[in-house]
């Protein structure tokens, strides 16, 4: 593994080449483990490494800890259309077009517009409406797609369908396919419908699973309850940007994709109550959401009358904020006050928070996560939590037959 560069005060100058390792194709888990909680678990704390399996994860968590899970649900975002000429067009739904939120877009009936990637776009003639017919017991479902316009990096596609009373979420379930990560290099299988989804998935909207949660089972939850380990949920709808590699030499010119988050007021209150106990994020999506709460609170302190549509997190906010240092309690209390003043039971916004070495975690003390791709922003997030220990963790995993990426094994990492 390459050596880390000396610590650079300005995170924007971090060289992505310093966060790489050799990941061979055979180390990538192409299929899930036979049982969710039979995956291997690496525990890293105080520069020491232990091994176990997920089924026993409760034994490695401190009593009275708070675990935060992402309860987003993966939608069947890949839709294949067959042209009359025989050619195939693949449409990958990214997020709703315009200002509509994902929850509302998923409930849309009759028609909706989405930002999409299009495979075979050059074969899609201008003005041509694609049609897909799916026979069902209740009658044939008809889905149509038309290009509204081409924008930078994606298309705006209008979908319309019959019967019109179907929601878009129901339509995707009928007509779409599970969007497996591109590095699996295979088509989705029937087992992926359940296994590429957490058992607590609730809200439709993700095009990728929050994979750290794939290992959790009712048995694990019962063990957590026995140990008085609390659980809360946030929602971050994972976008295709999670697979976007860093293609620049330094992180300064990498653009993070903003993702939609929703957090209930009860979860924020529970985090505030548990600040003296370990707070552990299940997955990098949970970590980014939880840490975003602090920066949202900072914004409500600096601009008490900020509007909901202005209260969002940009990737460099933590590194460019000029307000005086604000502690976590102050920030969360301010956010709660702002929510109550605006009569909100939950906050829904976008975050593009980029967590890299040099970032000081404000809320979480630990992270449960899978093993990430070399030179990825997710690996940088891990390095921000455990410093140069990431090299030790990944070296051990590579030398001890751990399986990598979405369907692979995982680790429990405690903050230095």
Instruction: Choose among 336, 250, 270: nearest CA to 11.
Output: 250
Give the tens place of pLDDT for each residue, 89-119.
Answer: 999 998 899 877 888 899 999 999 999 999 9
Q: Within the chain, which residues score under 50 in pLDDT?
A: 1-9
Q: Cβ contacts of residue 286 below 8 Å, gap of 6+?
A: 68, 69, 70, 210, 212, 234, 236
Query: What pLDDT, on the 0 to 100 scale, is given for residue 8?
Result: 37
Give the tens place of pLDDT for each residue, 165-203.
Answer: 999 999 999 999 999 988 898 888 889 999 999 999 999
Query: What pLDDT, on the 0 to 100 scale, is given for residue 150?
Result: 94
Domain 11-73+197-414 is found in CATH 3.20.19.10: no
Query: What pLDDT, on the 0 to 100 scale, is given for residue 100?
Result: 78
Instruction: Choose among 403, 402, 406, 374: nearest CA to 390.
Output: 374
What residue spans define the domains of the chain? 11-73+197-414, 77-177
Its pTM stands at 0.91
């Amino acid at each position: 593994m390459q050596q880390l560069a000396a610590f650079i005060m300005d995170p924007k100058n971090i060289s992505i080449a310093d966060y790489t390792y050799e990941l061979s194709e055979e180390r990538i888990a192409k299929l899930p483990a036979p049982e969710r909680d039979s995956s291997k678990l690496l525990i890293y704390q105080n520069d020491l490494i232990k091994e176990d399996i997920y089924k026993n994860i409760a034994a490695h968590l401190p009593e009275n800890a708070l675990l935060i899970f992402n309860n987003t649900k993966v939608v069947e975002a890949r839709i294949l259309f067959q042209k009359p000429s025989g050619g195939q067009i693949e449409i990958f739904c990214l997020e709703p077009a315009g200002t509509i939120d994902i929850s509302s877009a998923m409930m849309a009936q009759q028609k909706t517009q989405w930002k999409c990637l299009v495979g075979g776009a050059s074969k899609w003639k201008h003005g041509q409406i694609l049609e897909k017919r799916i026979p069902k017991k209740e009658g044939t479902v008809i889905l149509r797609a038309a290009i509204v316009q081409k924008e930078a990096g994606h298309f705006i596609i209008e979908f319309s369908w019959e019967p019109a009373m179907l929601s878009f979420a129901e339509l995707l379930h009928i007509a779409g396919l599970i969007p497996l990560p591109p590095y699996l290099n295979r088509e989705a299988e029937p087992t992926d419908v359940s296994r590429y989804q957490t058992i607590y998935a609730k809200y439709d909207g993700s095009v990728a699973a929050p994979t750290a949660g794939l290992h959790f089972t009712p048995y694990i939850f019962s063990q957590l309850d026995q140990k008085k380990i609390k659980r809360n949920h946030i929602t971050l709808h994972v976008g295709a940007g999670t697979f976007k590699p860093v293609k620049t030499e330094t992180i300064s010119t990498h653009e993070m994709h903003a993702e939609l988050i929703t957090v209930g007021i009860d979860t924020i209150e529970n985090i505030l109550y548990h600040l003296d106990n370990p707070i552990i994020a299940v997955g990098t999506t949970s970590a980014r959401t939880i840490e975003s709460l602090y920066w949202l609170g900072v914004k409500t302190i600096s601009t008490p009358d900020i509007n909901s549509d202005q209260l969002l997190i940009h990737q460099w906010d933590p590194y460019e904020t000029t307000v005086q240092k604000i502690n976590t309690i102050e920030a969360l209390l301010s956010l709660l006050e702002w929510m109550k003043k605006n009569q909100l039971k939950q906050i829904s916004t976008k975050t593009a928070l980029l967590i890299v070495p040099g970032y000081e975690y404000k809320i979480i003390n630990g992270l449960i996560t899978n093993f990430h791709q070399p030179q990825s922003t997710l690996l940088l997030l891990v390095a921000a939590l455990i410093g140069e220990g990431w090299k030790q963790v990944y070296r051990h995993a590579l030398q001890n037959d751990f399986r990598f990426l979405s369907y692979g094994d995982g680790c429990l990492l405690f903050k230095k």
